[in-house]
Amino acid sequence: MALTVTVFGANGDQGEAQMRQLLAAGHHAIAAMRDPAQARPGWTAMAADYRDPASLRRACAGSDVVFLTLPSTSFQPADVVAAAADAVAAAAHDSGVGLIVFNTSMNVGSKARGFAAQDARFAIREKLFAGPVPCIAIQPVIYLDNLLRAWALPDIQRDGVIRYPHHAGLEVCWISEDDVARLMIAACFRPDLAGRRFNVGGRDALCGPDLARRIGAAIGRPLRFETLPVDQFADRMAAVFGGGEALDRDTLVASLSRIYDWYNSSPVRPFYVDMGPVLAELPIALESVEQWALRQPALCSHSSRSGLDPETSAG
């Protein structure tokens, strides 16, 4: 059955993947964007501003489901992001939307953990769960696509090194933005799961050296892994997300240092997910790290493998 889905956050990488997968699955996807002129070719886009309730209602009108992906609470004031979530939920209710699928964009626990970004997402999720529109939360532990961003990709392309602030033995279930989008689509057909939160990750738990080896083997170029000091990671992230209402660098460094110290030492394995129970409820075929790598022009264009067309290759 084809659905009509309004995608908030469609102008970002995660929302773009949601639009791509919705359209590929034959659904009618509406990109809710502040500036519809920035929509990708072939998209249906509508102007929507979190500060303009009428525009949000127009974007939600006639939709079966809302996909909600919010600006980062790591780099934006939490109250601004929470107000945006409230505004979308109200518009969805007023427009008769039957379900909100909330992409938390990070691992969010069953209670507040004392980390500002996660706790802000926790509060938003709980408020959505208590609201008048049924809501399911899809919670990716970490995106493979982070490796394509400005804080990681240049090192891979220039040096053949994946540098990330994980210790070399940390088990990480990296998941692609497209697989998260497919899980969100699967959730559309399970309204009975409203009020449930699903931590989601990829097929395999990989330590940094294994991640580098497998991506390198896929693209035909040896890669290695190095642990990136958190302060350097914070500088790179601040350069990408700085400006506007973004948090200042000192606050960002302190926040990232605390959370990555916990990621690297926590006994709860924050980046590990047993996807068996999740896939029993939300059945999709997860792609492998190799399949993901082979469809990334930014990686494959630096491959030494002869005959590989990075624009068309797929696993």
The rounded distance, in Å, linking the Cα atoms of 161 and 30 is 38
**208 near 166, Cβ under 8 Å?**
yes
Give the residues across from 102 on adjacent strands: 68, 137
CATH superfamily of 4-141+174-202+271-287: NAD(P)-binding Rossmann-like Domain (3.40.50.720)
Query: In this predicted structure, what is the pLDDT of residue 243?
Result: 54
The amino acid present at 58, given as its one-letter code, is: R
Query: In this structure, what are the phi and psi dihedrals at residue 46, rounded to the nearest 5 degrees?
Result: -135, 145
Predicted structure pTM score: 0.92
User: In percent, how much of the chain has pLDDT > 90?
Assistant: 77
Can you tell me the distance from the alpha carbon of 264 to that of 259, in angstroms, rounded to the nearest whole number?
A: 9
Q: Are residues 286 and 116 in contact, defined by beta-carbon separation less than 8 angstroms?
A: no
Those residues whose C-beta lies under 8 Å from the C-beta of residue 315, and which sit 6 or more positions away, are 218, 287, 288, 290, 291, 292, 294, 295
Q: Check residue 225 and give its pLDDT.
A: 98
What per-residue confidence (pLDDT) applies to 77? 84
Query: Which residue has tokens 């964007």?
Result: 33
Question: What is the reported pLDDT for 313?
Answer: 26
What would the 3-class secondary structure string for 223-246 be? CEEEECCHHHHHHHHHHHHCCCCC
Q: Are 223 and 210 in contact (CB under 8 A)?
A: no
Give percent above pLDDT 70 in the chain. 93
Residue with tokens 């029993």: 280
Q: Which residues of the chain have pLDDT under 50?
A: 244-245, 304-315
pLDDT digits (tens, 9 = 90+) for 74-127: 777 899 999 999 999 999 999 999 999 999 999 898 888 888 888 999 999 999
CA distance 131 to 79: 18
Domain limits of the chain? Answer: 4-141+174-202+271-287
Chain length of the chain: 315
